[in-house]
Structure formats: structure tokens, C-alpha cells
Structure 1
Amino acid sequence: MEIANICILGAGNLGSRIGLQAALSGFQVTVYDVNQKSLSGSLVTMNKLIKYLIKSQEITEKKGLEAIQRITFTPDPLVAVENADLISESVTEDLDIKKSVWKQFGHIAPAKTIFTTNTSYLLPSMLAEDSGRPKQFCAFHFHDVFHSKVVDIMPHPNTDPELIAVLEDLGRKLNQIPILVKKENSGYIFNTLLVSLIDAAGRLATGEVAEIEAIDKSWMINFNMPIGPFGILDNVGIDTAWHITSVKRNAASRAFADLLKTYIDQGKLGEKSGEGFYKYPNPSYKNSDFLK
């Protein structure tokens, strides 16, 4: 199947990044969100990314301008899917919301449309039937897009096997490295590894073993990394981390979810809100003297 038109559902941080990368790769892109403010914010995010990519000499100014011209922003679901060859869904990591979205778009999307979800922890089999076209449904999960250039392909048991090759080819065209997850696993590969780190950091913080910066410093120094677990949480989004952590029932996870909720209640969602465990755009962990 030839993919030319990509529809992005959800104009948040990752949806915006996927949409911009698709446009930079030559695809026509439509970004949908129910919230006009989110759509406006998506354009702002994309323009910031373009400036960064130009500054780092990864793209030219001309290529950035051409990419923006390939993108349409709309709050109208019918406009969003009018000629979509593929839908990439990146709405809130909430099962009920995602199921509702897929019931809506499964009903109105063209028969040709491939359905993909960018969910981090939910399984595609939880959503496939809601789309009405389970054979055309697969998880297609992006990471950072511009720095962590990995896209996970995770089918559910009823995904059409021929879809895998199509998504692998698309992943490469989007300048990503496609990784096939052979069977459903909440968290794919990297996130399964990452959660172990984050859970451990949460236990250290809620158990008052060490301060947040001390935990990050220990990780950064010992593994020669530019960022620690709480800096990573800010990048992921504290609200996203809370959605994942809050469903766990063990005492340590509940305590960590409660800590994350205190930040959310203050509007501190991480990098996307300007403040989380650190303040942005210049978090202290990036300062030259942070590890001294």
C-alpha cells in the first residue's frame, strides 16, 4: 500500500513531533485535536523544533518551511480523515478516551485507512475491536522521534501480517529504526526497561532515601548520562507517568503516584508546561556545574 496522507490524532508533544517528522519526510499531514488551543500549541512546538533542526544543521530553512506547508490543523474529524492512508493516534493515555476515539474514527475513516496507536502501555488488542477494523489495527509507537529514532511495531493477534512490512517501510521513510515486538507487551521493549528505572527512582524519593537531584546525579555520573530518571519523567510528561503509575496497586507505586499527583495539581507537568521536577527551558541538570 502506498502511504501519502497521514492523520495525527492528538496535538500534544509527541503527536506534534510525529506530524512534523512525517511532513519533513514528504508526507501530507493533518493534525486533529478537539481543542483549538492544543492545535495552536502544536504549530508553536513544530516551529520551535524546526528552528532547532536548522540550528543543528539537520535541515535547511527551505525544508522546514516546505514541511509546515504540508501540514493542516483541524478540529473537524471529517476533515482530518478525509483522505487518510494512515492514522497515528496519540491522545491521552487513558483507555476509555482511546476507545471512544477509535469508535469515532473507525466509523468515519476511509476503507483504505491503516489504524495505528502510539500508546505507551495499553495493548493494541484493547482498542482494535473498537476501531471496527481489527485486521487494520497495530501499535506503531514512537519515542522522541528526532533524537531517539526508534518506532516499535507491535501487532495484536488479529493484525493482518501483511501490515507489518508496510509499517516497517513507513518507519524507515520517517527516518526511524523500526523494531518488531513479536507479541503484545505493555511497555514494548525500551519502556519496560525504563519503568524499572523510574520505579526505583520513585521508591528512593518517596522513601526519603535521597533528594530528587541527588538521585539524578547518581544515575548521570555512574552511567555518564546527560539526564537522570526525574529529568526523563519531565520529558515524558508527569501526567503521562501518573496515568501509568496510578493503575498499579502495590504500595510503592501508589506512593509514587501520589507524589506525581502533587505536581500535576500545581500544573507542573514537566517540560511541556515549563516546570516539573525542574524548570524549563533551562533545567539545572543541564548546567555545567550540576555534577560538581
Structure 2
Amino acid sequence: MAIDIRKVTVMGAGILGSQIAFQVAYSGFEVTAYDISDAALAGAHHRFAELVATYRDDVPGAAGGKAEQTAAGIVLSADLAVAVKDADLVIEAVPEVLSIKQDTYRRLNEVAPERTIFATNSSTLLPSDMKDFTGRQDKFLALHFSNEIWKRNIAEVMGTSDTDPDVFRAVVDFAGAIGMVPIELHKEKAGYVLNSMLVPFLHSAIALSAGGYADPETVDKTWRIGMGVPLGPFETLDIIGLNTPYNGLANGGEREQKLAAWLKDNYIDKGKLGAESGEGFYRYSGDSV
């Protein structure tokens, strides 16, 4: 079965959702970015403007107007039916809360064409926990990207026991076509390959500071020097944005929920959401985000 993916809708235009939409459009696909309100789309418009500057500086070949043309070509919509009416592929990047994702797929299935493939960008949740809400289990799988997609260019592809092999292969090919290195998983694993290693590492760092053993700066310095790497775990968390790890921790066990409460009380409730908000564990100037 030949599957042609040309028109892509990205649901959720937050930090990573905006990056996905921009990278897909930059690679020559027709892209619609959907979010729930005009206010959310205004935030996406601002992110696209920032990505234009980032691509011009960091991506070979993005100068000469290509980055600007990419941003101008992305359609923004707060109407779900309009956003997906012609989509070959919908990439879902809504908050990392299972009930929200399940409800999203229930609504999405009512308005999307029968041919449309659904892909979740969930960081830690299993696609099998969502598949029964999609109405098209054979056309549903996970497609997971890393933050700062233009340089951390992996795309993890993971199906369920119901995913059509032709659909899986088409999404792997699509990942390659947008400049990603496809990482194929042979069976479901919460966290895929990357987050199965990254999330426990980040949680360990949070536990050190939440437990009063060492402040975030010390934890980061230890990791950078000891491992010879450019970023520590709290610097990484600021890039990701604190809402994503908070949602993951809040849905965990007693230990994880205590760490989530520490993040919420000390950072999230104070508007310290990470680099994009100007402050997380560190402060950022406008031109460094």
C-alpha cells in the first residue's frame, strides 16, 4: 500500500510542537499548526519568529530567505476541523497528561479524514493507552522528537500491536524526509530509547536539589565537569520546559509526586517555566532563549 504524506497538521503549538511544525515546513511539506485558542496561536507566531532567527544562525542553507518563507507558509488555526480537513498526518503534541491525549484523539477522530495517520509525540506514555480512542488503531503510532529539533535530530518511531506495517514504514520514511535520523523501536517501551535513559537521570537531579543535598547550579557543575559535557540536568530541564517533567512526575508514585510538588511550589507557581519564559532554574536574557 503506497502512503503519500504531503500535508501535515501539528496539534499543540507549544515549545516542541512549534519546532516540529517549523522543521516539517522547512523540509517542504504543507503544514498547519493547531492550538486551542487565538492566544495560544499568538505564542506560536512568536516562536516561529524566533525559529527564523535560530535557523538563519544555526542551520546551513537557511539564509537567503528560506527561514522567513518557512514561517510565512505555516497555516495557524484554532478550529480543529479546519486544521485537519486535508491532513495526511497529524502529529499530536498536547500536554503530557493521558486523559487530555485520550480526549484529543476522541475529538480528532470525529473530524479527520479516514486516511489520516495519527502520531503521538508523547514523551513517556504508551501509544497503546491511547489507541482505542483514535478510531483507527491501524493508523496510529508514536513519533517522538527531541527538543531543539534542528540539531538534536532524532525521531523515534514506535507502533502498537495494531499498527499497520505500511503505516510504520511510511512514518519512518517521513522522518527521514524532514531531516531526522529515524530510530525504530521493535516493541512498545515507555520513554522509547532516549527518555528511558534521560528521564531517570533528570529525576535523580531533581531529587538531589529537592532533598536539599545540592542546589541546581552545583548539580549541573558536577555533571558538566565529571562527564565532560556542555549541559547539566537542570540546564537541560530549562530547555525542555518545566511543565513537561512536572506532568510526568505528577502522574507517578508517591516519590515522584513529592518531586512534582517541589517543582510546582518553587518554580512553576512563580512563573519560572524554563528558558522560554525567561527564567527556570536559571535566568535568561531575551536573546539567549
TM-score interval (norm. to shorter)? over 0.9
Q: Secondary structure at the match of 1:40?
A: helix
1:161: Cα distance to partner? 1.2
Residue in structure 2 matched with residue 174 of structure 1 by the alignment? 178
| 56, 64, 69: which one aligns with 1:66 | 69
1:51: Cα distance to partner? 1.0
Deviation string 1:213-241 (CA, Å, 9 cap, x unpaired) is 00000001111222111111111111110
| 80, 84, 88: which one aligns with 1:81 | 84
Structure-2 separation of matches of 1:248 and 1:105: 27
Counterpart residue type for residue 25 of structure 1: S
Deviation string 1:12-50 (CA, Å, 9 cap, x unpaired) is 011100000011000010011112111111121111111
CA contact (8 A) 1:8 1:19 kept: yes
1:135: Cα distance to partner? 0.5
Residue in structure 2 matched with residue 93 of structure 1 by the alignment? 96
Structure-2 separation of matches of 1:241 and 1:249: 14
Residue in structure 1 matched with residue 50 of structure 2 by the alignment? 48
| 6, 9, 20: which one aligns with 1:7 | 9
- Residue identity over aligned pairs, in percent, reads 36
Identify unmatched segments of 5+ residues in structure 1.
287-292
1:260: Cα distance to partner? 0.7
Residue in structure 2 matched with residue 33 of structure 1 by the alignment? 35
CA contact (8 A) 1:153 1:179 kept: yes
CA contact (8 A) 1:107 1:131 kept: no
Residue in structure 1 matched with residue 281 of structure 2 by the alignment? 277
CA contact (8 A) 1:181 1:188 kept: yes
Structure-1 separation of matches of 2:215 and 2:71: 42
Structure-2 separation of matches of 1:213 and 1:69: 39
CA contact (8 A) 2:22 2:70 kept: yes
| 130, 137, 142: which one aligns with 2:140 | 137
1:279: Cα distance to partner? 1.0
1:185: Cα distance to partner? 1.0
Counterpart residue type for residue 163 of structure 2: T
Q: Secondary structure at the match of 2:183?
A: strand
Structure-2 separation of matches of 1:218 and 1:66: 42
Residue in structure 2 matched with residue 157 of structure 1 by the alignment? 161
CA contact (8 A) 1:138 1:154 kept: yes
Paired positions, count: 284
Moved more, 77-86 or 265-274: 265-274
Structure-2 separation of matches of 1:113 and 1:214: 48
Identify unmatched segments of 5+ residues in structure 2.
none
Runs of 4+ in 1 over 4 A off after TM superposition: none
Structure-2 separation of matches of 1:202 and 1:19: 30
Structure-2 separation of matches of 1:65 and 1:179: 30
1:282: Cα distance to partner? 7.2
Structure-1 separation of matches of 2:176 and 2:193: 19
Counterpart residue type for residue 93 of structure 2: S
Question: Structure 1 length as normaliser, TM-score?
Answer: 0.93
Structure-2 separation of matches of 1:266 and 1:35: 24
| 81, 91, 109: which one aligns with 2:112 | 109
1:280: Cα distance to partner? 1.6
Residue in structure 2 matched with residue 232 of structure 1 by the alignment? 236
Q: 1:167 to 1:228 in 2, by over 3 A?
A: same
CA contact (8 A) 1:271 1:281 kept: no
Q: Secondary structure at the match of 1:61?
A: coil
Question: Structure 2 length as normaliser, TM-score?
Answer: 0.94
Q: Secondary structure at the match of 1:112?
A: coil
RMSD: 1.7
Q: 1:57 to 1:116 in 2, by over 3 A?
A: closer
Matched, 1:183 2:187: yes
Counterpart residue type for residue 17 of structure 2: G
CA contact (8 A) 2:278 2:286 kept: no
Counterpart residue type for residue 23 of structure 2: Q
